[in-house]
Every structure is written in C-alpha cells, then in structure tokens.
Amino acid sequence: MTDLFSKFDPLIQQREALLATGVTDPFSLVMEKVLSPTVAICNGRETILLGTYNYMGMTFDEDVIAAGKDALDRFGSGTTGSRVLNGTYQGHRECEEALKAFYAMDHAMVFSTGYQANLGIISTIAGKGDYVILDIDSHASIYDGCKMGDAEIIAFRHNDVEALEKRLKRLPPDAGKLVVLEGVYSMLGDVAPLKEMVRVSKENGAMVLVDEAHSMGFIGEHGRGVAEAQGVIDDVDFIIGTFSKSVGTVGGFCVSNHPKFEIMRLVCRPYVFTASLPPSVVATAATSIRKLMHGGNKRAHLWENSKALHSGLKHLGFTLGTDEPQSAIIAVIMPDLERGAMMWEALLEEGLYVNLARPPATPAGMTLLRCSLCAEHSADQVGEILSRFERAGKRTGIIG
C-alpha cells in the first residue's frame, strides 16, 4: 500500500525542524479570552491584536451583538438547510438588501463563506471554452474556483497591466473571458491598478470580477473598495467579498448589476449544496454592513493608524512590503522562516500578535509578519506596537 500521506513528508520535516529549535508553534495559538477587537488573552498574557483583519473593529459593536442575540432568540441557532430549500430566512434577505444598499447594486447573493463565493461564482460563470485570466498572486479561493470550473486558466504577472493586456490580446476575440483581480492583495498589502486593468479588460471584451475582501468597509469614499476609490466600480461586473474581515463575522457574497444574475441561485453549486448561515450570523452581518455605510470617521482613523505604523516600522529599520502604506495591511519582510518564527515568538512574548505567513501562501518564497490594523486601535496602542517591535527586533537581531 502506498501511504497517501507520504506527499506531506517534506512539510512534516520542515515543521519538525522548526519546532526542534524550541520556538513556539506559530500555527496553533489559542485566544483564551477576547476582550475587545484589539486585545485578547494569549498564553495567560494580555496581548494587542495586530493580525486579525478585523479592520473596522465591528466584532464588539453593541448594535451588532444585540442583533445577533435577538436573532438567536427569535430564529434559533441554525437553519439546517440550503438557501434554495429551507435555508433562506428573513435575515438572509435583509443581509442581501443591506449589501445592495452598501454597494448601490441591483443584486446580492450571500454565501456561507467568502471562499465559497469565489469557488462558486468563478467555477459557474466561466465554463468550457471560456478563459479565466488572473493575477498570479491571487488568493487560494480564486485558484480553487478556477480548478473547479472547466475554463482555461491564464495567469499574468502580479499587478502588471501590460502583461494582462498581452494575454487578453492573444485570446480568440469571441471567446468568453473573465478577468479576476483583487482590490488589495493580502500578503503585501498592495493595491491593484484597477483603473487601467478594468480598462484593458473591457477594451478586450472581458468581464471583470474583483475580490474586495481586504478593502470593503475601509477603502473608497463609501468603503466599497479599491474599485470605488479608483472610479471604476460601474465597469466591474462582479464584486466578491467576505464578512470575515471588516464586517466582523463570517460569510461571503457577490454583488452585481448583471440583469441575469439571479439565475446563479439555481446553478451555483457552492451556494445550492451547503447549509446557509445561521440567523444570528446574518443578523450581525446586516447590522454591521448598515453601520459601515456611515463609517467615514472610522475609515479616516484607520488610515492614520496605517500611516503611523508604516512610517514607524520603516524608521526602526524594518523592510516592508510596500514603499508607502496602501491599505490596512503592513507586511514586514523576514530574512527566512526560522528568523521569522523567532521574531513572531519574540513579539508574542512582548504581548503582540501578528500573522506569520510563509510559502506557498506568500509571493516569491517570502516569510512575512503581516500586520493588519484596526479602526479601534488607539494612537497609544500604535505607539506601544512600535515599541514592542523595536524590542523584539533588537532581541532577535532583525534590526540593529
């Protein structure tokens, strides 16, 4: 018998070698208690959270929590069914109405996760004989959506408008084409040149899908994302998003103005063949989305936090993923996995949690400490975060 697990041996060995150095396992941290969107107890210690993607800090919003409790009392703990059978409650509809209002779009479809939204929409709309043209640094859910469908997949160099255009021009003019982009790329926190990319896509007869997972709620005047900020939202055919970041709960969605969009509810397998979100979750999501429509002050404060952290880390001598802050994600580049894990642990000992990211999730084989800021981080907390980075960086020799 061939052990089907033998393909994981290199990863098992890499993990064992890392743990043999005595470092804490960076991928099994437990939050023992969560006190607020920015503070939790980890290993018995009060810890500032800087790696949660809780950009707008909605997880402890009192209206959001009240809506969830009320729905739990009135509708029970779960729907036990698919959206197309017994799993559409009033709350799911209200959540879709909230999304339509948030994006000023005609259609909204709520999925059980953002992962399933990408999986479902991409695999369903791009079929046999069609082409999906995607940025090489796309999220795993986009790649998996491509794998699940029958379209031909063509990747282009990250954020390279010319490369996208070249690929598009090589394709048969009459073939169906879907260009898949992200507003903010979550590894380095860099923003896509959507204005140019949407233009070349349209000039070459392609439909455009933009995943705004890391920009919803924060970027753009109304928080609709990078497509709004760059003035091209009306030319984007499908926006994918998640409730697991700025919205502060769990779930995913697609919004669109396509006149035939509603047919997706019958043909999209990751929508049909899975249970819908619990009533308490859609109630928290709808309340959060409605509040995010009026989140201008929070958005401004989050930009201040992002700029302060970026310039502070740069000043301390860390190498960052972008020259300027482009989003609420600031990526600190580590020399290798071992030293990245050491720095991650040193930060945790200082009472600061960040995400450790390593290949294959990261581009160009990089090890990153990914920091995601929250609108609820105070200026004092950002100052404290910088002091902790300085102490941990000096202790581990990452900075001089």
Ligand X SMILES: Cc1ncc(COP(=O)(O)O)c(C=O)c1O
The answer to whether residue 113 forms part of the interface with ligand X (CB under 6 A) is yes
Residues whose CB is less than 8 angstroms from the CB of residue 393 and which lie 6 or more positions away in sequence, other chains included? 316, 317, 318, 343, 399
- Smallest distance, Å, CB 226 to ligand X? 12
DSSP H helices in the chain: 9-20, 62-75, 90-103, 114-125, 140-148, 161-170, 194-203, 226-229, 264-267, 269-272, 279-292, 296-316, 337-349, 379-396
Of 206 and 216, nearer to ligand X (C-beta) is 216
- Smallest distance, Å, CB 286 to ligand X? 16
The answer to whether residue 114 forms part of the interface with ligand X (CB under 6 A) is yes
Size of the site for ligand X (CB under 6 A): 13
Among 59, 244, 327, 367, binds ligand X (CB under 6 A): 244
Site for ligand X in 133-192 (CB under 6 A): 139, 141, 182, 186
- Smallest distance, Å, CB 145 to ligand X? 10
The answer to whether residue 115 forms part of the interface with ligand X (CB under 6 A) is yes
Of 242 and 327, nearer to ligand X (C-beta) is 242
Of 42 and 213, nearer to ligand X (C-beta) is 213
321-325: long-range pairs with CB below 8 Å, 24+: 321/187, 321/188, 321/189, 321/190, 321/368, 322/188, 322/189, 322/190, 325/189
Q: Which two tokens stand for residue 107?
A: 């259609």
- Smallest distance, Å, CB 358 to ligand X? 15
Point out which span in 25-33, 113-121, 158-166, 312-320 binds ligand X (CB under 6 A): 113-121
The answer to whether residue 246 forms part of the interface with ligand X (CB under 6 A) is no
Of 52 and 381, nearer to ligand X (C-beta) is 52
Q: Please give the Cα distance from 287 to 248 (Å, whole number).
A: 11
Q: Give me the phi and psi of 241, to 5 degrees please.
A: -150, 180
The answer to whether residue 211 forms part of the interface with ligand X (CB under 6 A) is yes
Residue 303: strand, helix, or coil: helix
Q: Please give the Cα distance from 2 to 4 (Å, whole number).
A: 6
Q: Please give the Cα distance from 118 to 134 (Å, whole number).
A: 13
- Smallest distance, Å, CB 214 to ligand X? 6
What residues line the site for ligand X (CB under 6 A)? 113-115, 118, 139, 141, 182, 186, 211, 213, 242, 244, 252
